[in-house]
Amino acid sequence: MQISFYNPTRLVFGKGKLKELGSYAKEYGKKALIVYGGGSIKKNGVFDSAVASLKDAGIDFVECGGIEPNPKIDSVRRGIDLIRKNGCDLIIAIGGGSAMDCSKAIGAGALYDGDPWDMIFHGQENVYIPTRCMPIITVPTLAATGSEMNPGAVISNSETHEKSFVQTDALFPKVAVVDPTLTLTVPKNQTGYGVCDIIVHLTESYFNGVDGTPIQDEFALATIKNCMQYGIKAYNNGSDLEAREQVQWSSILALNGFVNCGTNGAFPVHMIEHTVSGIYDITHAAGLAIINPSWMRFTITHGGNVDKFARFASYLFGIQNDGDKVKTALAGVDKYEEFLKEIGCPVRFSELNIDESNYEKIADITLKVIHDENGKLPARPALSKEDILTILKNAS
């Protein structure tokens, strides 16, 4: 077992923590760029509360709103311009994964002379790996991405239809101010998508990681179970604070590197989905909900770690293993797919009116973005172009 773990983000989690934003922010700067999305935070009072806390702490700010759901590199460029023009020394991201991811690319891009697309891994020869970033404070308003406490960002290029990532130590936020009351007003569909997203973050590492990680496996399963149990509650009753808290705590755990420490799992479902939402601009988690069960079924029957799939089935759904592990494993996927439907997720491309016409393109772009020495998509086992096409077709 080889583990390399580092996560210096300070986590402040709990009901009412938004009020403390200013007290953390003043440790890092005097003029903040506030990065946010479609403006719901202006309607539900979150923006006002954040600004009140910043004012109390003597912090001025500039706004960078309108970050789109799959944040575009153009938004990153816009944010960088705003920082340079206004002399901001701090970034505060208030929103979901898009606002937070965009903030990371802005924070690193503002300290880089070249174009920020250089840092997004898309098969280019010379990737710019940021070693510096402006201080960032994240304030998630959605339980899903885990971006609040990790150093990753996913950015899209609307010209090339590429959607890919940058992930490096410099991008860790300084502080994650996580106030679960901010998620009480998240609509039903976004709540379900968030739960789906969290679970896939956990399944990717659990199924694609190395062997010999018994504690990490238990942690992943326990977090999935908790997320499912409270996720359905949060979906059915958005104002259930306990459920919101547990789902948000699961979202942080799922992708802050701790639960999957040392598993070195690939993220094949994410890689394929990034291409899909890069082309169709669908919600990330909707794409995951469609691709993940199909990837699971393919993997179970094509050399995946069937023991882990069977354990997934028995731990989460109480499916008894009657000796036929493949059958047990597949039954677990069926149950998982049923759960996805229960939380309002699509499970076939047809539900989003996506036909087969771009499957070849999806496979090609995915493999262009990332592939191993055999030209395959890293996964356990690695996936050829044909494999990806089969997974996509089975999800039609």
Q: CA triplet 75, 359, 296: central angle to 5 degrees?
A: 95
CB 250 within 8 A of CB 226: yes
The residue from 8, 39, 114, 375 that contacts a second copy (CB under 8 A) is 8
- 196, two tokens: 């789906």
Q: How far is the CB of 295 from a second copy (least distance, A)?
A: 26
Pick from 11, 52, 170, 306 the residue near a second copy by CB under 8 A. Answer: 11
For a second copy, the closer of residues 102 and 253 by Cβ is 253
User: Which of 23, 226, 314, 394: binder of a second copy (CB under 8 A)?
Assistant: 226
Cβ nearer to a second copy, comparing 102 with 254: 254
Q: Does 4 bind a second copy (CB under 8 A)?
A: yes
Rounded to a whole number, what is the distance in angstroms from the first to the last CA of the chain? 39
Q: What is the C-alpha to C-alpha distance for residues 144 and 192, in angstroms, rounded to an integer?
A: 9
Stretch that binds a second copy, among 7-15, 116-124, 136-144, 301-309 (CB under 8 A): 7-15
Shortest separation between residue 146's beta carbon and a second copy, angstroms: 14
Q: How far is CA 312 from CA 10, 88, 291, 323, 334, in A?
A: 32, 47, 18, 15, 12
Is 101 an interacting residue with respect to a second copy (CB under 8 A)?
no
Does residue 246 interact with a second copy by CB under 8 A?
A: yes
* Interaction of residue 70 with a second copy, rule CB under 8 A: no
Instruction: Give the binding range for a second copy (CB under 8 A) out of 56-64, 223-231, 284-292, 301-309.
Output: 223-231
Q: Does residue 315 bind a second copy (CB under 8 A)?
A: no
Contact 70, 284 (CB under 8 A): yes
Q: Give CA separation, 298 vs 195, 293, 377, 388, 394, in Å.
A: 23, 9, 14, 9, 9
Query: Least CB distance from residue 163 to a second copy, whole Å?
Result: 30
Six-digit token string for 173: 């936020």
Residue 210 lies near a second copy (rule: CB under 8 A): no
Q: Does 318 bind a second copy (CB under 8 A)?
A: no
CA 173/CA 75 separation, integer angstroms: 19
Assess 262 for contact with a second copy (CB under 8 A): yes
CA distance 362 to 369: 11
Closest CB 137 distance from a second copy, rounded Å:
14
Which of 57, 129, 222, 352 is close enough to bind a second copy by CB under 8 A? 222
Site membership for a second copy, residue 386 (CB under 8 A): no
User: Applying CB under 8 A, which part among 29-37, 129-137, 246-254, 383-391 lies near a second copy?
Assistant: 246-254
Nearer to a second copy, 212 or 375 (CB): 212
Q: Are strands 152-157 and 162-167 parallel, antiparallel or unpaired?
A: antiparallel
Q: Which residues pair with 91 in a beta bridge?
A: 33, 136
Rounded CA gap, 328 and 309, in Å? 8
Candidates 112-120, 134-142, 213-221, 373-381: pick the segment binding a second copy (CB under 8 A).
213-221
Q: Which of 24, 47, 193, 219 binds a second copy (CB under 8 A)?
A: 219
- Minimum distance between the CB of residue 249 and a second copy, rounded to whole angstroms? 6
Tell me how far CA of residue 193 lies from CA of 49, 221, 311, 344, 345, in angstroms: 26, 19, 24, 8, 7
Q: Give least dist CB 170 to a second copy, A.
A: 14
Size of the chain in residues: 396
Q: Does 6 bind a second copy (CB under 8 A)?
A: yes
376: amino acid identity, one letter: K
C-alpha 381/C-alpha 305 separation (Å) is: 9
10 makes contact with a second copy (CB under 8 A):
yes
Q: Does 7 bind a second copy (CB under 8 A)?
A: yes
Q: How far is CA 202 from CA 108, 227, 256, in A?
A: 27, 10, 11
DSSP 389: H
Q: Of 12-20, 89-97, 152-160, 197-205, which part binds a second copy (CB under 8 A)?
A: 12-20
Shortest spacing between CB 33 and a second copy, in angstroms? 24
User: How far is the C-alpha of 95 from the C-alpha of 41, rounded, in Å?
Assistant: 8
Distance of alpha carbon 13 from alpha carbon 15, whole angstroms = 7
Which one among 14, 45, 187, 303 touches a second copy, defined by CB under 8 A?
14
Chain residues in the site for a second copy (CB under 8 A): 1-15, 212, 214-215, 218-219, 222-223, 225-226, 242, 245-246, 249-250, 253, 258, 261-262
